[in-house]
Amino acid sequence: MNNILSWDELKRLSANDLDRVNGKTNSYSNIRLFNHSENEAELILYRDRHAWCPYCQKIWLWLELKQIPYKVKKINMFCYGKKENWYRNKVNSGKLPAIEFKGKIITESDLIISFLEKEYGALGSPIFSNKLEKVREIEREIFRAWCNWLCRENIIIIESTLKKTKLKQKLQKLEDLIDNSSTGFLDPIYEEDNNIKPGTGDIIFIPYLERLNASLCYYKGFSLREEFPKINQWLTLLENQSTYLGTQGDFHTHSHDLPPQMGGCYKEKNPKQIYYSNLINNGEGLGELELNTTNNLNNYSKIALHRLIKHKNNVIKSNPCNSDLFEIGLRSALTHLATGETGKVNDECAMGLRYLRDRISVPRDMPLISARILRQSLEKISSLSPSKGFHNIPTQHRYDQDPTNFLS
């Protein structure tokens, strides 16, 4: 155990905190100014605390790409915690997302974007414009076909085959739209520095394509990126936009946050499904099927260290493992992350490390690459124990992710 670094030694190897207010898109900020004054942040975005909600991601992305100063207030979703009373008093339905502007509350993501367009101008094409009518129709068709395959149990093989075929037909419509674009984006915005960024027509698709890509790999063994090369190119373009990366979830997070939100997700066991789900579960991830961009792995390791060290006391307190044992095991895993050195832990501690591995949430806790590297180190140290045990992830709810332990 002598090779395990102390918390002070680990901290010296970690990254500095980022500029949450004016820097890159991140899930931690409570106010985003884009170098404006705080007085200019007249808008409040109410979004879910764990960054699981696809409709919240849509509004979040829109504000970030438009660079409108805004404040953020984070609210629980029913599937992981009690909805705050003060929010229910403000928004009777409790729906997320919502925005507040000069005392006015607006809910429903498309209506929110329409309101923002009137106040701040469109981001590319207006959401209810004729130009985006077909785009929005295709998005709804894909969503319905995805839910029909993922969320309904198929008793006979032909049922699943028909649902898969129907989804592929709907996805082909998107593939054709992208193929007809000279930029690779559906609704490109041309900036003065010759950069091109996605507009509202792209944002419409991003949240559900991200979740579709993750869930179908995990539950069906279906790889969206391998089946549809133009959609793969579109996703790759997005993944080279820092704004999108700041909001992007990973396959592990989505595979396990979707069942309680959608009323269940059904596995269809086949060789690819087993292969993909095992890699997702053990933290290895799916490489370029999950994220296709060039990254500085060393920097992302440092970010993972920083984020874990910042919250270490609450991480240790909320783990079912004995605190003293888990503290040593956690430092052992972080030492491996920082230096590659390994140290054995006992069976109980191994289960505690896997508990943490399975409850890292992206982008709530850290970026996708940071989470992947951290999960791999947690699994590496766990695997040195003879025990292969782990704590099951609930599927009816995610109260194991109740944020109470992490709120000051």
Q: Which of 210, 111, 225, 240 is nearest to 175 (CA)?
A: 225
Q: How much is the pLDDT for 2? A: 60
pLDDT 10s digits, 152-162: 988 778 889 99
Q: How much is the pLDDT for 87? A: 96
pLDDT at 235 over 80: yes
Share of the chain above pLDDT 70, in %: 99
Q: Using CA atoms, how far apart are residues 153 and 160, in angstroms rounded to an integer? A: 9
Q: Using CA atoms, how far apart are residues 260 and 191, in angstroms rounded to an integer? A: 40
Q: How much is the pLDDT for 159? A: 87
Q: Which of 91, 348, 92 is nearest to 100 (CA)?
A: 91
pLDDT 10s digits, 180-198: 999 999 999 998 888 899 9
Query: Terminal CA-to-CA distance of the chain, rounded, Å?
Result: 33
Angle between helices 206-220 and 130-150 (to 10 degrees): 20
Q: What does the DSSP 8-state code read for residue 365?
A: T
Where would I find the H helices in 121-228? 130-150, 157-179, 200-203, 206-220, 224-227
Q: Which of 375, 363, 370 is nearest to 52 (CA)?
A: 363
Share of the chain above pLDDT 90, in %: 90
Banded model confidence at residue 386, pLDDT cuts 50, 70, 90? confident
The CA distances from residue 124 to 112, 131, 238, 245, in Å, are: 16, 10, 16, 20
CA angle, residues 73, 398, 378, in degrees to nearest 5: 95
Banded model confidence at residue 121, pLDDT cuts 50, 70, 90? very high
Count the Cβ atoms, other than its own, within 10 Å of residue 379: 18
Average confidence score pLDDT of the chain: 95
- Mean pLDDT computed over 141-154: 94
Where would I find the H helices in 85-129? 85-90, 109-120
pLDDT at 104 over 90: yes
- pTM summary value: 0.95
- Mean pLDDT computed over 81-110: 95
pLDDT at 175 over 90: yes
Higher pLDDT among residues 3 and 288, named by residue? 288
* Spatial CB neighbours of 169, under 8 Å, sequence gap ≥ 6: 145
SS3 content of the chain, % helix, strand, coil (to 5): 55, 5, 40
- Mean pLDDT computed over 241-263: 96
The CA distances from residue 207 to 114, 299, 365, in Å, are: 18, 26, 18
Residue 97: asked if its preceding bond is cis (omega within 30°), the reply is: yes
- Mean pLDDT computed over 390-396: 92
- Mean pLDDT computed over 48-66: 97
DSSP string of 34-84, one letter each residue? TTS-GGG--EEEEEETTS--HHHHHHHHHHHHHT--EEEEEE--TTTSPPP
- Mean pLDDT computed over 223-233: 98
Q: How much is the pLDDT for 43? A: 98
Q: Which of 70, 77, 75, 110 is nearest to 203 (CA)?
A: 110
Count the Cβ atoms, other than its own, within 10 Å of residue 16: 8
Highest mean pLDDT among 152-161, 337-346, 364-373: 364-373
Q: Using CA atoms, how far apart are residues 343 and 332, in angstroms rounded to an integer? A: 6
Residues 122, 124, 129, 132: is their CA dihedral positive or negative? negative
Q: How much is the pLDDT for 148? A: 96
Q: Which of 167, 162, 161, 172 is nearest to 147 (CA)?
A: 167
Banded model confidence at residue 293, pLDDT cuts 50, 70, 90? confident
Domains of the chain: 7-13+296-406 (no CATH), 31-120 (3.40.30.10), 130-289 (1.20.1050.10)
pLDDT at 1 over 60: no
Least confident range of 138-147, 152-161, 165-174, 237-246: 152-161
Banded model confidence at residue 226, pLDDT cuts 50, 70, 90? very high
pLDDT 10s digits, 21-32: 999 999 999 999
Written as six digits, the tokens of 90 are 């403000």
pLDDT at 277 over 80: yes
Residue 320: asked if its preceding bond is cis (omega within 30°), the reply is: no
Where would I find the H helices in 189-270? 200-203, 206-220, 224-227, 229-239, 242-245, 251-262
Q: How much is the pLDDT for 153? A: 85
pLDDT 10s digits, 8-52: 999 999 999 999 999 999 999 999 999 999 999 999 999 999 999
Q: Using CA atoms, how far apart are residues 127 and 133, in angstroms rounded to an integer? A: 8
**3-state secondary structure at position 220:** helix
Q: Using CA atoms, how far apart are residues 375 and 355, in angstroms rounded to an integer? A: 10
Banded model confidence at residue 285, pLDDT cuts 50, 70, 90? very high
